[in-house]
Amino acid sequence: MDLHELTRSLHTKNDSKIVMLVADGLGGLPLVAGEGTELETANTPHLDALAARGVQGGSIPVAPGISPGSGPGHLGLFGYDPLKYLIGRGALEATGIGFELQPGDVAIRCNFCTLDDDGNIADRRAGRIATDQSVPLVHRLREISIAGLETFVEPVKEHRFVVVFRGPDLGGDVRDTDPQETGVPPLDPQAVDPNDAASCRTAELAGEFLRQARQLLSAEPQANFHTMRGFAVKPNLPSYDEVYGLRAAAIAVYPMYKGLARLVGMEIVGQSQSLDEQITTLENSWNDFDFFFVHFKYTDSTGEDGDYSGKVARIEELDKSIPRIMALNPTVMIVTGDHSTPCFLRAHSWHPVPTLLVSDCCRPDPAQTFSETASISGGLGQFEARHLMTLALANADRLGKYGA
C-alpha cells in the first residue's frame, strides 16, 4: 500500500489551515570550514521562535546522495514519490513557461539549429540566437497546420522553444531528433517502440511539423531549422483534493512552481511579484482554501550564484515574513525547502533540508534555533520528503486511525 492509498482512505475534513512555506534551495553548507551555513549565519529571530515551539528535522528530497531538480524536489514535498512519478522534460519545460497542459497533451522541447547546404547540422543551437530574434520565428511556426491536430508553439529563451501537440491518441515515447553532434543531419522522429501506436502517431505528426517548419525557416540565415527533444505526455498525478481531501492554493511568483502546483491540482492564486505580495495574497485567500503552498525562489537563485551574503539576506527576508503568516494562526505551519543549494557548490545538492513543523500537537524538541545543525537532533529526525504531507495532515487532525 503506498502513501496515497493510505491518505486517500484515512483523510477527513475540518476547518484547519496548513501553510507550507518552501524556501527553494534552503539548505546550505559552510563556505569556510568551521563556520556556519547560510541559515546559521542569518539573523532569524522569528524562525528561531517557531523552532522553540515546534519540531524540526532533515528532509531527504529523494534518497540519500541524490540531488534533485525542481520537479522531483517539489513532488517529494507534495507527498508524491519522486521515484514513481516522473515529469518528462518537455512537460516540465511547458510547465515552466506557464503553459497549462491538458490530459493527453504531448509537450516537446525544441532548439533552433543551423543546417549547412548539405542539410547537416552546423550549429545545434543556431549560434545561441538572441531571444528578440528567435521570438518572431517562433510566432512564424504558428502558421503550421496539421489536420486533426492542434499545435501550440511557445517561446522560451534564445534558441529554445516549446511545441505542444493536442489531439486524440498521442503518445510521448518518441526519440529526440537532435543527433547531439554536428556535421550530420537531424534525425527523424521515431517511436521508441514501433508497436506503440500512440507514440508512432506522435512521431508521424512531428515529422510533418518538421517538414513545414523547414519550409517556413528555409530562408533564415541562422535559425533555418529546429530539433525536437524530450517528448513527454502530461504526467498523470492524482490531485490534492483526491489524495488528501484538501482545497489547495499555490502562491508563487515563477511559472515553474505554479506549473508544478497545477499538476497536483492546486489552484494558482494571485499575481504576486514579491514575498510581501505573496503574504497579502495568502491573507486575502485565507478563507477559501485548506492548504497553502507559498514558494520563495531567491534562496535557491542566490545559492546557485554562490552569493553567500545574498542568500543570508534572502533568508532574513523570509524570516521577516513569518509574523504576518503566524498572525493568521495556521493550524500547521511548515517551513522547508525542496532541496539544498549551498553557495559552496553553486548547485542543487543532496544534503538534508532543515524542515520545521509547528502545531498545537506537534511534539516539541529541545531545539531553540532553526538550522542544519539543530535539525540533526530534531524530533522529526531525518525523513524522506514524501512523508511531510502525511505529517501535516496528522498535525491538522485530518487523518483517521489506520486499522481498528
Which residues here bind a second copy, judged by CB under 8 A?
A: 1, 3, 6, 10, 29-30, 33, 37, 53, 58, 62-73, 82-84, 86-87, 89, 92-93, 342, 344-345, 347-352, 361, 363-366, 372-373, 376-383, 387, 389-395, 399-404
Residue whose CB is less far from a second copy, 53 or 124: 53
| Structural contact between residues 325 and 334, judged by C-beta atoms closer than 8 angstroms | no
For every residue of 240-299, DSSP letters joined together read HHHHH---EEEE-SSHHHHHHHHHTTPEE-----SHHHHHHHHHHHGGG-SEEEEEE-HH
Q: What number of other Cβ atoms are within 10 A of residue 299's Cβ?
A: 27
Distance in Å, CB of 367 to a second copy, minimum: 10
- Torsion sign over Cα 227, 230, 233, 239: negative
Residue whose CB is less far from a second copy, 120 or 382: 382
**Interatomic CA distance for residues 358 and 17, integer angstroms:** 12
Distance in Å, CB of 256 to a second copy, minimum: 9
Distance in Å, CB of 80 to a second copy, minimum: 12
Distance in Å, CB of 186 to a second copy, minimum: 22
Q: How many CA atoms lie within 13 A of 143 on its CB side?
A: 11
What is residue 332's DSSP assignment? E
Distance in Å, CB of 38 to a second copy, minimum: 12
For every residue of 146-159, DSSP letters joined together read BTTBEEEEEEEETT
Strands (E), 324-380: 332-336, 353-358
Q: What number of other Cβ atoms are within 10 A of residue 222's Cβ?
A: 19
User: Which single residue is written with the C-alpha cell 500537537?
Assistant: 361
Residue whose CB is less far from a second copy, 58 or 265: 58
Distance in Å, CB of 336 to a second copy, minimum: 14
**Interatomic CA distance for residues 269 and 252, integer angstroms:** 8
Residue whose CB is less far from a second copy, 201 or 295: 295
| Structural contact between residues 397 and 17, judged by C-beta atoms closer than 8 angstroms | no
Residue whose CB is less far from a second copy, 64 or 194: 64
Q: Which residues pair with 353 in a beta bridge?
A: 59
Distance in Å, CB of 293 to a second copy, minimum: 18
Residue whose CB is less far from a second copy, 237 or 279: 237
Residue whose CB is less far from a second copy, 52 or 216: 52
If we measure between CA atoms, which residue out of 50, 28, 153 comes closest to residue 97?
Answer: 153
Residue whose CB is less far from a second copy, 51 or 210: 51
Distance in Å, CB of 346 to a second copy, minimum: 11
If we measure between CA atoms, which residue out of 258, 69, 92, 70 comes closest to residue 160?
Answer: 92
User: Which single residue is written with the C-alpha cell 569556510?
Assistant: 32
Residue whose CB is less far from a second copy, 287 or 329: 329
If we measure between CA atoms, which residue out of 22, 125, 12 comes closest to residue 334?
Answer: 22
Distance in Å, CB of 221 to a second copy, minimum: 31
